[in-house]
């Protein structure tokens, strides 16, 4: 059996590496139009940072795992084709700011149709709007020259989380495969299930109809993001009342109906998926006339925007309502720890908010390059997933400096904002950093990872998200 995967990104790369590792008799080729990305996959500096990924790639690469730009050859030869291309939010036209842009997906489908001389199983790995399989089926059928070629489309959404992708792939809570309820559809489901059965217990391989599988992915992301927005909403109330959001989260998390995972209040959720998929869910709801349902889910995104704005206002308010020309050290730019991914990271909105008020941001992140940070801060909303930005906001960059050391970032700064929960921030020598900062020295912990009592002892004015406010902050606000 030969497998090809179109799209060598955060999903295609790790997913196919795991398939190759667990199925040594299957040849797996990951193809992409991005030459630089493929070159990096064939080197020891992979294009994405994910703990444990390099080891797996090194074990399989050249054996039964290959990365190539020769899309036509490998897609033409494959029995199963995973499509794992980007599905960003539309930036213009009908549905702009909400609907999924399926240009890349359709491009992949047209490619498959044009090179197929034998029947194929086409697997939707990308997150797509419900009913995409129907549209893709039409594109495939109408563009393939050979009438004897049959395409069976499956929905196999990916539930991995960046930062823990390899563990999630090795031991997933479940794998979901949706197929059409025809005989050939069910046969295709069984074929794909047999690949996963190499390492995943049968009871964790769930099957469903196509539309349920497509919708399940959007729903899963909506529910996960909703939990974060829910606890973030409560964090605002905690600050207003003297309650402590971590105590509240612990108390509710012990209820088995609620559960204790994913209840950390923060400066906001980020990542390429949550916002995009909820907006897409809203768009789908609106399209079928479910205005109230769309409005309900849209609040999850609004609350996330509010949380980022609230953080910026807290920083500016605490610092005597002006950050003009003040140096602010930004700790962490990735949307979460253990990844270098900055797509929709809250750090973008927080930095832009501070810079708009005249602050000078000095940014440190252990995995994000200066080039990426400059790109992100000069790109308008929703443009990050496209190679050439049509418009850019270069004025944002005048007050941005990127450094390769957390201690240097704080040198002479008025404040430190912790925006990503990197473990290394917990063990910094804050006492000696305090000496070199402008007084009063502030720390705004947007992730609640630092030892706040110790920081206060050193002399810092500390803002901990969702926790009782320092008297200094209450008066100054």
Q: Which residues contribute to the site for ligand NAI (CB under 6 A)? A: 6-12, 31-34, 37, 71, 84-87, 104, 107-108, 111, 126-127, 158, 160, 162, 272-273
Q: Is 32 annotated as a binding residue?
A: yes
- Which residue's CB is nearer to ligand NAI, number 12 or number 76? 12
Given the residues 5, 60, 273, 417, the one annotated as active site:
273
Cα–Cα distance for residue pair 79/133, rounded to 1 Å:
18
What minimum distance in Å lies between the beta carbon of 71 and ligand NAI?
A: 5
Residue 289 annotated in ligand binding: no
Rg for the chain (alpha carbons), in Å? 24
- Is 104 or 297 the residue whose CB approaches ligand NAI more closely? 104
To the question of whether residue 168 is assigned a binding role by annotation, the answer is no
Min dist CB 206 to ligand NAI, Å, is: 16
Question: Smallest gap, in angstroms, from Cβ of residue 353 to ligand NAI?
Answer: 25
Q: Is 273 a catalytic residue?
A: yes
Q: How far is the CB of 121 from ligand NAI (least distance, A)?
A: 18
Q: Nearest to ligand NAI by Cβ — which residue?
A: 9
* Smallest separation (angstroms) from ligand NAI to the CB of 105: 8
To the question of whether residue 378 is assigned a binding role by annotation, the answer is: no
Task: Report the 3 state secondary structure along the chain.
Answer: CEEEEECCCCCHHHHHHHHHHHCCCCEEEEECCCHHHHHHHCCCCCCCCCCCHHHHHHHHECCCEEEECCHHHHHHHCCEEEECCCCCECCCCCCCCCCECCHHHHHHHHHHHHHCCCCEEEEECCCCCCCHHHHHHHHHHHHCCCCCCCEEEEECCCCCCCCCHHHHHHCCCCEEEEECCCHHHHHHHHHHHHHHCCCCCHHHEEEEEHHHHHHHHHHHHHHHHHHHHHHHHHHHHHHHHCCCHHHHHHHHHCCCCCCCCCCCCCCCCCCCCHHHHHHHHHHHHHHCCCHHHHHHHHHHHHHHHHHHHHHHHHHHHHCCCCCCCCEEEEECCCCCCCCCCCCCCHHHHHHHHHHHCCCEEEEECCCCCHHHHHHHHHCCCCCCCCCCCCCCCHHHHHHEEECCCHHHHHCCCCEEEECCCCHHHHHCCHHHHHHCCCCCCEEEECCCCCCHHHHHHHCCEEEECCCCCCHHHHHHC
- 471 annotated as belonging to a binding site for a ligand: no
Between 158 and 383, CB nearer to ligand NAI: 158
Q: In what order do the strands lie in the sheet with 400-402?
A: 400-402, 360-364, 327-331, 415-418, 442-445, 461-464
Question: Least Å distance between CB 477 and ligand NAI?
Answer: 37
Nearer of residues 311 and 384 to ligand NAI, judged by Cβ:
384
**62 assigned ligand-binding residue:** no
Nearer to ligand NAI, 34 or 212 (CB): 34
Residue 360 is assigned to a ligand binding site:
no
**407 marked as part of a ligand binding site:** no
Query: From the CB of 434, what's the least distance to ligand NAI, in Å?
Result: 37
C-beta closer to ligand NAI: residue 14 or 353: 14
Q: Which of 302, 400, 317 is nearest to 359 (CA)?
A: 400
Q: Do residues 409 and 327 lie in contact, with contact meaning Cβ atoms separated by under 8 Å?
A: no
Nearest residue (CB) to ligand NAI, 47 versus 466: 47
Asked whether residue 344 is marked as a ligand-binding residue, the answer is no
Mind telling me the catalytic residues? Answer: 273
Binding site, annotated residues for NAD(+):
7-12, 32, 37, 85-89, 126-127, 162, 273-276, 343
Binding site, annotated residues:
7-12, 32, 37, 85-89, 126-127, 162, 273-276, 343
């Amino acid at each position: 059996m030969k497998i090809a995967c179109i799209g060598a990104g955060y999903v295609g790369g790790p997913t196919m590496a795991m398939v190759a590792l667990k199925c040594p008799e299957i040849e797996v080729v990951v193809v992409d139009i991005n030459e630089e990305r493929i070159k990096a996959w064939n080197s020891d500096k992979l294009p994405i940072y994910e703990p444990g990924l390099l080891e797996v790639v090194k074990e399989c690469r050249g054996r039964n795992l290959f990365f190539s730009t020769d899309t036509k050859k490998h897609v033409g030869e494959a029995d199963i084709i995973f499509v794992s291309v980007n599905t960003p939010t539309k930036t213009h036209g009908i549905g702009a700011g909400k609907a999924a842009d399926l240009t890349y997906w359709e491009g992949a489908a047209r490619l498959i149709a044009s090179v197929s001389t034998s029947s194929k199983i086409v697997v939707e790995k990308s997150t797509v709007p419900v009913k995409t399989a129907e549209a893709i089926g039409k594109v495939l059928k109408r563009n393939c020259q050979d009438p004897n070629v049959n395409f069976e489309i499956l929905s196999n959404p990916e539930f991995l989380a960046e930062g823990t992708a390899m563990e999630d792939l090795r031991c997933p809570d479940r794998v979901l495969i949706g197929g059409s309820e025809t005989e050939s559809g069910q046969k295709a489901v069984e074929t794909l299930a047999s690949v996963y059965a190499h390492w995943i217990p049968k009871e964790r391989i769930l099957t469903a109809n196509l539309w349920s599988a497509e919708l399940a992915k959007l729903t899963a992301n909506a529910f996960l993001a909703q939990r974060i927005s829910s606890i973030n909403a409560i964090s605002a109330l905690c600050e207003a009342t003297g309650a402590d959001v971590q105590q509240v989260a612990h108390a509710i998390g012990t209820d088995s109906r609620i559960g204790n995972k994913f209840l950390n209040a923060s400066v906001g959720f980020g990542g390429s998926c949550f916002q995009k998929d909820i907006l897409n869910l809203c768009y789908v709801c609106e399209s079928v006339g479910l205005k109230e349902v769309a409005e309900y889910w849209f609040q999850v995104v609004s609350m996330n925007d509010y949380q980022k704005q609230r953080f910026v206002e807290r920083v500016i308010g605490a610092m005597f309502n002006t950050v003009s020309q003040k140096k602010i050290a930004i700790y962490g730019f990735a949307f979460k720890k253990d990844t270098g991914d900055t797509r929709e990271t809250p750090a973008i909105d927080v930095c832009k908010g501070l810079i708009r008020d005249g602050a000078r941001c000095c940014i440190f992140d252990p995995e994000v390059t200066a080039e990426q940070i400059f790109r992100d801060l000069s790109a308008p909303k929703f443009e990050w997933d496209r190679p050439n930005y049509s418009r850019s906001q270069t004025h944002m960059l005048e007050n941005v400096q990127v450094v390769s050391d957390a201690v240097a970032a704080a040198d002479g700064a008025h404040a430190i904002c912790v925006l990503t929960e990197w473990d290394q921030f917990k063990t910094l020598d804050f006492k000696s950093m305090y000496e070199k900062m402008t007084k009063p020295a502030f720390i705004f912990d947007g992730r609640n990872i630092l030892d706040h009592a110790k920081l206060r002892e050193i002399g810092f004015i500390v803002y901990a998200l969702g926790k009782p406010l320092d008297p200094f902050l209450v008066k100054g606000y």
